[in-house]
A and B are shown apart, each in its own frame.
Chain A
Amino acid sequence: MNKEFDFDRIGKQIPYKVPNGFFDEITSRTLIKAREREQKAKIRRIYTAVSVAASLLIMISVALFLKTGQPDIQTENVVVQPAEPVKPLSESVATNTTEPLPTKEKAELPVIEKPETWEKLLAEMTDEELVALADDLYDELFADELTTD
């Protein structure tokens, strides 16, 4: 072919053909596919939202658990600390001090029982004994005043 190629010879001709009825069906078929794709995308969006919500819930739960766990330890310390001086020295040496005390035992510490014992003791005392006790206490207090300076 020696002469210059002319586009007009070809024009807009295309050598391809389509199967019969292709253009009649393609719209409905594509619409069905589009709906399905949309439905899948919707489900995927819901799954994503649920996953994000679940992750947040787990994170918040863990954070709350860690936060609420700390004050418990602090209150245990508060309860245990004032109870320790009450123990006799020999007893505290004999027992393992690193081992935490059960909560029930801590509640039964003699802090509440003390006034009852003193009251009983005082009630059982005679007038003479009470006067003697008062004198002794007065002497002791006076003696403390003299020694503390």
Chain B
Amino acid sequence: MAEKTDLEIWQMLQHPVSRDKGFTLLMERYKERIYWYIRRLVINHEDAEDVLQETFINAYRYAGSFNGKSKIYTWLYKIATNECIAFFRRSKKTDIKMVEISQQLENQFSETGAETSETILLKFQEAIQLLPEKQRIVFNLRYYDELSYEEMEEITGSSAGTLKTNYHYATEKVKNYLNNF
């Protein structure tokens, strides 16, 4: 059986009979990609799991609001981004201090049994976490997920020019932070 296209999956989501099947296909296709995007923003696995579930539950409930003109994964990124922002507001993690970020990241490293040579990775994540919320989101979308500025426009609602500026400032800040390390 041929693999379903995103459009077919979305059509399945629209009908009550095929809704659950469509949801399963959608999640199987994008869960890892969306999970890692969320995880890089919220750091903690449990938080990432909650946000991931909320993202796909919203996709299940509001499938009718997707117009089908854009790509289905940009729509998922958009929901995930909004959920992450809501999570930041709830936990007020946008204003956490550098020490707290380092502590959180170090805990992650100790949990995963990372070597000391991977300290640079920790510092890199630390630098990203210190970016302002918008720049952090833009940096993750561009650097890790390699999305185009047009796709990022759909996700964030900002213009391509603003996004390019945000990304430029974000990379400069990360570089400066790591150069001083």
B-binding residues in A (CB < 8 A): 1, 4-5, 7, 9-10, 12-19, 22-23, 26-27, 29-31, 33-35, 37-38, 41
Q: Is the CB of B125 within 8 A of A15?
A: yes
Contacts of B121 in A (CB 8 A): 10, 13-15
Instruction: For the complex, give the distance between the alpha carbons of A31 and B25 in Å.
Output: 11
Instruction: For the complex, give the distance between the alpha carbons of A7 and B121 in Å.
Output: 11
Instruction: For the complex, give the distance between the alpha carbons of A111 and B61 in Å.
Output: 75
Q: Which residue on chain B has the smallest CB distance to residue A12? A: B144
The distance from the CB of A73 to the nearest CB of chain B, in whole angstroms, is 55
In order of increasing CB-CB distance, the 7 nearest A-B pairs are A34-B60, A5-B178, A17-B112, A15-B121, A34-B57, A27-B27, A5-B175
Q: Is the CB of B56 within 8 A of A30?
A: yes
Q: Which residue on chain A has the smallest CB distance to residue B20? A: A31
Q: Size band of the B side of the interface? A: 35 or more
Q: Is the CB of B45 within 8 A of A18?
A: yes
Given A15-B105, A18-B45, A26-B31, check contact A34 B23 (CB 8 Å).
yes
Looking at chain A's contact residues, the main secondary structure is helix
Q: Is the CB of B36 within 8 A of A15?
A: no
Q: Is the CB of A26 within 8 A of B52?
A: yes
Report which residue of A16, A18, A34 has the largest number of chain B beta carbons within 10 angstroms of its beta carbon. Answer: A16
Q: Is the CB of A30 within 8 A of B179?
A: no
The distance from the CB of A28 to the nearest CB of chain B, in whole angstroms, is 8
Q: Is the CB of A1 within 8 A of B109?
A: no
Of the A-B pairs whose beta carbons lie under 8 Å apart in the complex, a sample of 24, sorted by A's number, is A4-B175, A5-B175, A9-B120, A10-B120, A14-B125, A15-B108, A15-B112, A16-B112, A18-B35, A18-B39, A22-B49, A23-B31, A23-B32, A23-B35, A26-B49, A26-B52, A27-B27, A30-B56, A30-B57, A33-B57, A34-B56, A34-B60, A35-B20, A37-B57
The distance from the CB of B50 to the nearest CB of chain A, in whole angstroms, is 10
Q: Which residue on chain B has the smallest CB distance to residue A13? A: B121
Instruction: For the complex, give the distance between the alpha carbons of A18 and B48 in Å.
Output: 10
The yes or no answer to B166 lying at the interface (CB within 8 A) is no
The distance from the CB of B131 to the nearest CB of chain A, in whole angstroms, is 15
The distance from the CB of A23 to the nearest CB of chain B, in whole angstroms, is 6
Contacts of B111 in A (CB 8 A): 17
